[in-house]
Amino acid sequence: MTKRLIVGLSGASGIIYGLRMLEALRDLGHETHLVMSRSAEATLAVETTRKVGEVHALAHAVYPVADVGAALSSGSFATDGMVIAPCSIRSLSEIATGVTSTLLTRAADVTLKERRRLVLLVREAPLHTGHLRTMTQASEMGAVIFPPVPAFYGWPASVDDIVNHTVGRVLDLFGIENSLAPRWGAVPEAGGKAARAFPGRTEQRR
């Protein structure tokens, strides 16, 4: 079944997560509605060689971040949820307090009030107590806090491997089948211990 997801890109470092999310959803045949902050456009220029137009082309529909009256600002616009990848502390704070200033955070607020899934890839470190309390507040409202923390049991060999693992796990949260990354225990070695699970590799853990 085709799903309709809102994908938000904030200005935090790690915009590659949002780009890969858009690519994966496109490749899997799902519908995406993109909101990209101005800070995200700046981060795109710093962290990648992509142009804003190339990112827009990955989505089915694109909305100006200042257009707080766009379809995404209403709960009557049915979606299967929203992911903000990456999610800045500023965006997190607006969502947690319900005081939203852009379409990015307004769409997230609507997602929560309509009891739809909201996943926030909060990208910040280290975290002070205020950050932690804000994440707790957002979680208590129904958001899923998903820091893009690498998993190493699959022996990633590249940044793409690390990014794909996180994106695949996020898609799992929306019930979207994918094979972006190896799953724990998928490739056991003799004796029952986990082996390197990435395709094309035969080395085992020592």
Give residue-wise pLDDT tens across range 18-43: 999 999 999 999 999 999 999 999 99
Position 197 in a domain: no
Q: What is the CATH number of the domain that holds 81?
A: 3.40.50.1950
Q: Which domain holds residue 19?
A: 4-148
189: pLDDT strictly greater than 70? no
Give the span between the Cα atoms of 37 and 108, in whole angstroms. Answer: 13
The reply to whether 74 falls in a domain is yes
Query: What is the value of pTM for the model shown?
Result: 0.90
* Position 166 in a domain: no
200 has pLDDT over 70: no
Task: Name the maximum alpha-carbon separation found in the chain.
Answer: 59
Assigned domain for 48 exists: yes
Amino acid 206: pLDDT: 43
According to the model, what pLDDT value does residue 185 have?
82
Q: Please compute the mean of the pLDDT values over residues 118-126 and round it to a whole number.
A: 98
Residue 13 pLDDT class (50, 70, 90 cuts): very high
Q: Is the peptide bond before 126 cis (omega within 30 degrees of 0)?
A: yes
Rounded percentage of the chain residues whose pLDDT exceeds 90: 85
- 187 — pLDDT class (breaks 50, 70, 90): low
pLDDT of 84 strictly over 80: yes
Reading the block at residue 135, the tokens are 């994440």
- On the question of pLDDT at 52 being above 90, the answer is yes
Average pLDDT, the chain: 92
In a domain, 136, yes or no: yes
In a domain, 170, yes or no: no
Please report whether residue 191 resides in a domain.
no
Q: What domain count does the chain have?
A: 1
Measured at the CA of 167, the angle between CA 65 and CA 155, to 5 degrees, comes to 145
pLDDT at 195 over 70: no
